[in-house]
């Protein structure tokens, strides 16, 4: 085995444990195999790109490729996703150059990047849910990939596949340890949502609550109130958290038992990109059961933030799930006065929204 090939193999295993190394590995390995451009990609079936490192000496070309979304014409995406085992392929093996989209793809590559042919190693991971690998593109003057380069990549593919598997398992275990540690520190019922809005993990307290089903359940990994208008509000809440807005949310869940409504507090998580793992928590949801709020909590809020007795009462009603209008009625004050109290609470607790204020106060004294 040549020195270059051994370096490429060692580099792949190193990148499996340090994701930041994949970009440089892509560049070095593409050059070793005669390419002027290299792409390391992770794609989730049926073609959603989770990550791509594109390395070319002309960074402006790479920026244009991304901004113009040229990859949507790439004939490799659907082809690689259709395979269920590690494989090597070239454009001459599968690309239909009579297809208009494929013609546009190659025309853009030739006119802008002076590239014409590619050679790719692809490997499925996690039972085919995602696939990943290396694609190298050749200069227009170099012609199709010679057999020797294809043989070298074939020797490298088994180790690329093992390294990718290792990276996937490593990322999953690291992520599981992180989320388990995070959830174990929570005292209130809590769960994690993925980017599809599905429940990834729950604390034992949340799991028990969902099993009881008093207004909130989990069916096929999705939160539900049982249908109707309540589910529409819950879906909006989940969509806000997982849609990339970065905005925290609040959702009231009425309970058929007649007990005080649950309050769901949700906020997006600034997660680290785990390129090898397709499932990642993007939002955390905690639940407040007003009946479970310790009696001493409101007193602690008052001491911690210098709330007046009336502001403390207002805060207590907000955390218990009452609306501003209902709180005004209970306290026998006007809505305008209730808004003044709420603004004062925001100022003293350094929060800007009702959801933020409730999230903060619900943790004090819990």
Split at pLDDT 50, 70, 90, the class of 363 is confident
Share above pLDDT 90 across residues of the chain, in percent, rounded to a whole number: 42
Fill in the DSSP letter of residue 295: T
Split at pLDDT 50, 70, 90, the class of 274 is very low
User: H helices of the chain, where?
Assistant: 3-17, 22-32, 59-67, 76-81, 91-94, 100-113, 147-184, 204-212, 229-242, 297-305, 309-319, 324-331, 335-349, 354-361
| Torsion, CA 65, CA 139, CA 57, CA 274, rounded to 10 | 60
Split at pLDDT 50, 70, 90, the class of 77 is confident
Phi and psi based region of residue 249 (left: phi greater than 0; alpha: psi -120 to 50; beta: remaining) = beta
Backbone angles phi, psi at 172, to 5 degrees: -65, -45
Both tokens of 73, joined, read: 């014409």
| Contacts for 49-56: CB closer than 8 Å, 24+ residues apart | 49/77, 50/130, 50/275, 50/278, 51/273, 51/275, 53/22, 53/23, 53/26, 55/23, 55/26, 55/27, 55/30, 56/113
Between the alpha carbon of residue 202 and those of residues 74, 169, 179, 266, 276, the distances in Å are: 40, 21, 10, 14, 23
Answer yes or no: are the C-beta atoms of 322 and 310 closer than 8 Å: no
Q: What is the pLDDT of residues 187-206, one digit of tens each?
A: 779 999 988 899 998 988 89
Distance, CA of 291 to CA of 297 (rounded, Å): 12
Backbone angles phi, psi at 147, to 5 degrees: -60, -35
Per-chain mean pLDDT for the chain: 86
Please report how many Cα atoms fall inside a 13 Å half-sphere around the Cα of residue 349, on the Cβ side: 29
Backbone angles phi, psi at 197, to 5 degrees: 85, 10
Average pLDDT estimate for 158-174: 84
Query: What pLDDT shows up at residue 273?
Result: 44
Q: What is the pLDDT of residues 41-76, one digit of tens each?
A: 888 766 677 778 999 999 899 999 989 989 889 998
pTM, two decimals, is 0.58
């Amino acid at each position: 085995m040549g020195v270059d090939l051994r370096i490429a193999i060692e580099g792949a295993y190193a990148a499996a444990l340090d994701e930041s190394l994949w970009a440089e590995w892509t560049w070095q390995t593409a050059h070793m195999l005669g390419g002027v451009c290299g792409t390391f990609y992770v794609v989730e079936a049926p073609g959603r790109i989770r990550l791509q490192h594109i390395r070319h000496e002309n960074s402006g070309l790479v920026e244009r490729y991304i901004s113009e979304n040229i990859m949507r014409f790439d004939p490799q995406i659907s082809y690689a996703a259709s395979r269920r085992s590690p494989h090597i392929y070239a454009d001459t093996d599968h690309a239909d150059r009579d297809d208009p989209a494929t013609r546009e793809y190659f025309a853009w590559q030739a006119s802008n990047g002076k590239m014409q042919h590619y050679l790719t190693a692809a490997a499925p991971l996690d039972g085919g849910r995602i696939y990943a690998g290396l694609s190298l593109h050749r200069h227009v003057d170099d012609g199709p990939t010679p057999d020797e380069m294809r043989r070298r990549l074939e020797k490298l593919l088994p180790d690329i596949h093992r390294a990718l598997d290792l990276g996937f398992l490593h990322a999953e275990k690291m992520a599981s340890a992180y989320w388990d540690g995070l959830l174990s520190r929570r005292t209130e019922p809590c769960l994690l949502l993925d980017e599809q809005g599905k429940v990834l993990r729950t604390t034992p307290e949340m799991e028990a609550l969902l099993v009881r089903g008093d207004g909130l359940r989990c069916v096929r990994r999705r939160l539900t109130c049982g249908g109707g208008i309540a589910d529409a509000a819950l879906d909006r809440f989940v969509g806000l958290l997982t849609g990339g807005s970065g905005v925290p949310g609040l959702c009231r869940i009425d309970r058929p038992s007649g007990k005080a409504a649950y309050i769901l507090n949700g906020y997006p998580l600034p997660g680290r990109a785990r390129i090898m793992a397709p499932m990642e928590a993007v939002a955390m949801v905690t639940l407040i059961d007003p009946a479970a709020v310790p009696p001493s909590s409101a007193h602690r809020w008052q001491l911690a933030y210098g709330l007046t007795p009336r502001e403390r009462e207002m805060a207590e009603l907000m955390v218990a799930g009452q609306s501003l209008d209902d709180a005004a009625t209970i306290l026998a004050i006007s809505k305008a006065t209730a808004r003044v109290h709420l603004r004062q609470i925001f100022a003293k607790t350094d929060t800007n929204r009702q959801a933020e204020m409730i999230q903060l106060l619900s943790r004090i004294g819990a």
